[in-house]
Amino acid sequence: MRLLALVDCDNFYASCERVFRPDLKEVPIVVLSNNDGCVIARSKEAKAMGIKMGVPWFQVKTAYLAQGGKVFSSNFALYGDLSKRVMNILDGMVKKIEVYSIDEAFLDLRHIPNKNEAYEFGIYCRNTIRQWVGIPVRIGIAPTKTLTKVASHVAKNINGGTGVCCLSDQKNISHILKTLPIKEVWGVGHNLSRQLNQLGVYSAYELAQMDIRFIRTKFSVVLERTVRELRGESCIQIENHSEPKKQIVVSRSFKNRIDNLNELKPLISNFAVRAGEKLRHEKQKCSQVSVFILTSRFNKQLQHRGFDSFQFPFPVDDTRSILMGANNTLNAIFKKNYPYAKAGVLLSQFSHPAFIQKSLFKATDQQHLKQDENLMQTIDKLNVTQTQIYYASQYPTGLSPIQKEMVSPKYTTNWWELPMTK
Amino acid sequence: MTINYLGSISANDLPATFTKFFVEPVSVGFPSPANDYLESPIDLNQYLIKNGAATFLVRVSGDSMLDANIADQAILIVDRSLKPKHGSIVVASLDGDFVCKRLLLKPRLCLLPENSKYKPIYIQHGQDLDIMGTVTAAINKFE
């Protein structure tokens, strides 16, 4: 039987914070989102204290700190580096890997002949990553992607277990699925699970027993695939995610609310400039720039969510065009006297830069295009480490109204922040 | 001989396959006899790091390992994939702090400083010791 594995890092961001802080071995750890707004990761100990995922930090701060919990602002330089190490190690162990997110990867175990050896491989894999990088992982092994998610879920919930769960024989799988609520099944969201509950379907096992044609006609082919996968029929393949990005988003929450255009404009310009840099880094051109501005969801009186887009007549990667589009859009969606808490710029509708649509009204002769391209390249080069060239509409402080008061050192990516011996 | 200036060229403007021919300034006289023997420059990473995914850098503070040629502020190359042996220099966490010492497994578990000013640390029952990894090299900078 062909087996797949899902490798999933335990409480990844919190575990990363622990790698270079042996003093925090059993201390509760939470990691906050950009601007220190919400809790986005919790160690086992913090979960045990009842800290919920996504809870606003100000709501739990006092009680959490009083009980000796430790808090960190997010340090994506560190998480990104440790993630890359984990993925590199996994890549060296199997022929095919799909990096699914910063802390999850699917592995193809077709080179492993049987389930006992697959289990042994799981143990080896887990020990190696623990030893080499210092990150704990759990591993779910099963014949389909959806079942590897189930196996990983089981591995997490066996206390003091090996962290590896292999679900391969049908009896075992049925037994587990009977205890699993459908909302825990990969791809079954909140709404879908409510609809299925109304039909009297509660466990993953009951879902797996449903009639395929009924599922396809009453729900979707996506759910049909999930049902087949629960039955052990592999429908979702392991893919290489090397395809280029489809959109670029730069957004921030503000520490203080902003209710006037003069203050908001330079921030939007900063986002647009950063988005342009990312776009050129990806070697793409975009045909649409969108802007969104949001008030806080905790402010019930004055709520406004503004979103609109600007369409370019031909694909661009020039920051000056993006700025023009973003500023026009902002002017159109901004409402006076609303306390905005978050804003962002989104670039989409990408096409390859080699493709240049000739414009009737704009001079697109090669020399001008080349000059514009050179200008952007030169500015990008000058601004690599710190912003030295600004567009007039920007805040000269760069992009960083980011609030990160409790960020840990960049232990693995900065010479001046290496871990120290005592 | 007259020379016409045709413009400047930077390695970035050229496709990768052509770069090789222009790493030396193009001379108008004889072509460099070395051009056929070009090799990539020496890479310190290649010398110092065997297993990149498991290798971390740690900065030393203090002089407790001076006799092992590890000075204050030296940068240690720590390979977490090597199993520490009796006599290996290691970075370990002892009661929550990172230390760099020589590891002795017999007759008793001990972290040995390499400087007579400091005493060996015998690990007591109940002390929390984790070996982070084996030190494979130390870089002391002089200037």
Domains of chain A by start residue, with CATH:
4-9+79-230 (3.30.70.270), 12-78 (3.40.1170.60), 248-382 (3.30.1490.100)
Which of A16, A24, A130, A422 is the best substitution to test chain B (most B C-beta atoms within 10 A)?
A422
Of B20, B64, B106, B141, the active-site residue reads B64
- The predicted structure's pLDDT at residue A42: 96
Which of B98, B127, B130, B141 is the best substitution to test chain A (most A C-beta atoms within 10 A)?
B98
Contact residues on chain A for B132, CB-CB shorter than 8 A: 22, 134
Q: Is position B85 annotated as part of the catalytic site?
A: no
By C-alpha distance, the chain B residue nearest A23 is B96
Per-residue burial over A270-283, b = 16 or more CB atoms within 10 Å of its CB, e = otherwise: bbbbbbbbebbebe
- As a dihedral over the C-alpha atoms of residue A66, residue A70, residue A71, residue A76, rounded to 10 degrees, the angle is -170
Contact residues on chain A for B51, CB-CB shorter than 8 A: 132
**Rounded CA separation A420/A20 (Å):** 9
Q: Give the H or E element holding residue A122.
A: helix A115-132
Cβ pair A420:B56 closer than 8 A:
no
Mean pLDDT (chain A, rounded): 89
Cα of B57 to nearest chain A Cα, Å: 7
- The predicted structure's pLDDT at residue B115: 96
Q: Between A107 and A362, whose confidence is greater?
A: A107
Q: Is residue B66 within 8 Å of residue B116, measured between CB atoms?
A: no
Cα of A394 to nearest chain B Cα, Å: 29
Say what the pTM is. Answer: 0.75
Q: Is position B81 annotated as part of the catalytic site?
A: no
Cα of A254 to nearest chain B Cα, Å: 35
Does pLDDT of A245 surpass 70? Answer: no
pLDDT band at A365 (very low <50, low <70, confident <90, very high): low
- Option in B54, B80, B98 nearest A22 (CB): B98
Residues 6+ apart with CB under 8 A from A319: A272, A273, A276, A277, A376, A379, A391
By C-alpha distance, the chain A residue nearest B99 is A421
Q: What is the 3-state secondary structure (H, E, C) of B44-96?
A: HHHHHCCCHHHEEEEECCCCCCHHHCCCCCCEEEEECCCCCCCCCEEEEEECC
Contact residues on chain B for A133, CB-CB shorter than 8 A: 53-54, 80
Q: What is the DSSP letter of A214?
A: H
Residues 6+ apart with CB under 8 A from A141: A3, A4, A5, A109, A115, A118, A119, A122, A148, A151, A164, A165, A166, A167, A168
- Option in A25, A85, A421 nearest B98 (CB): A421
Cα of B31 to nearest chain A Cα, Å: 32
Q: Is residue A327 within 8 Å of residue A375, measured between CB atoms?
A: no
pLDDT band at A315 (very low <50, low <70, confident <90, very high): confident
By C-alpha distance, the chain A residue nearest B80 is A132
| DSSP percent split of chain B into helix, strand, coil, nearest 5 | 20, 30, 55
Q: Between B22 and A294, whose confidence is greater?
A: A294
What is the residue extent of each domain of chain B?
Answer: 45-139
Q: What is the DSSP letter of A200?
A: T
Q: pLDDT by residue (tens digit) across A117-146?
A: 999 999 999 999 999 999 999 999 999 999
B52 touches chain A (CB under 8 A): yes
By C-alpha distance, the chain B residue nearest A19 is B132
pLDDT band at B97 (very low <50, low <70, confident <90, very high): very high
Cβ pair A422:B128 closer than 8 A:
no
By C-alpha distance, the chain B residue nearest A88 is B53
B128 touches chain A (CB under 8 A): yes
**Rounded CA separation A77/A237 (Å):** 31
Does pLDDT of A416 surpass 70? Answer: yes
B11 touches chain A (CB under 8 A): no
Please tell me whether residue A47 adopts helix, strand or coil conformation.
helix
Identify each DSSP E strand in A137-185 by its residue range: 137-142, 164-166
Please tell me whether residue A344 adopts helix, strand or coil conformation.
strand
**Rounded CA separation A384/A377 (Å):** 11
The amino acid present at A149, given as its one-letter code, is: K
The amino acid present at B143, given as its one-letter code, is: E
**Rounded CA separation A110/A130 (Å):** 24
Cβ pair B98:A412 closer than 8 A:
no
- The predicted structure's pLDDT at residue A147: 96
Residues 6+ apart with CB under 8 A from A200: A206
pLDDT band at A363 (very low <50, low <70, confident <90, very high): low
By C-alpha distance, the chain B residue nearest A91 is B53
- The predicted structure's pLDDT at residue B32: 76
**Rounded CA separation A178/A170 (Å):** 12
Q: Is residue B64 within 8 Å of residue B115, measured between CB atoms?
A: yes
Cβ-based burial of A134 (10 A; exposed 0-12, middle 13-18, buried ≥19)? buried
- Option in B54, B59, B132 nearest A418 (CB): B59
The amino acid present at A258, given as its one-letter code, is: I
Taken as a whole, chain B contains a residue count of: 143
Of B101, B117, B119, B141, the active-site residue reads B101
Q: pLDDT by residue (tens digit) across B2-28?
A: 555 555 555 454 444 444 444 455 566
Q: Which of A18-27, A397-406, B2-11, B15-24 has the highest mean pLDDT?
A: A18-27
Q: pLDDT by residue (tens digit) across B14-63?
A: 444 444 444 455 566 777 777 778 788 889 999 999 999 999 999 999 99
Does pLDDT of A95 surpass 70? Answer: yes
Cβ pair B93:A22 closer than 8 A:
yes
B131 touches chain A (CB under 8 A): no
CATH superfamily assigned to domain B45-139: Umud Fragment, subunit A (2.10.109.10)
- Option in B57, B81, B93 nearest A418 (CB): B57
- Option in B51, B76, B96 nearest A22 (CB): B96
- The predicted structure's pLDDT at residue A396: 64
Query: B84 in the Ramachandran plot: left (φ > 0), alpha (ψ -120 to 50) or beta?
Result: beta
Residues 6+ apart with CB under 8 A from A401: A252, A254, A255, A267, A395
- Mean pLDDT, residues B112-124: 96
- Option in B53, B57, B100 nearest A88 (CB): B53
* % of chain A beyond a pLDDT of 90: 64
Q: pLDDT by residue (tens digit) across A204-219?
A: 999 999 999 999 999 9
- The predicted structure's pLDDT at residue B122: 96
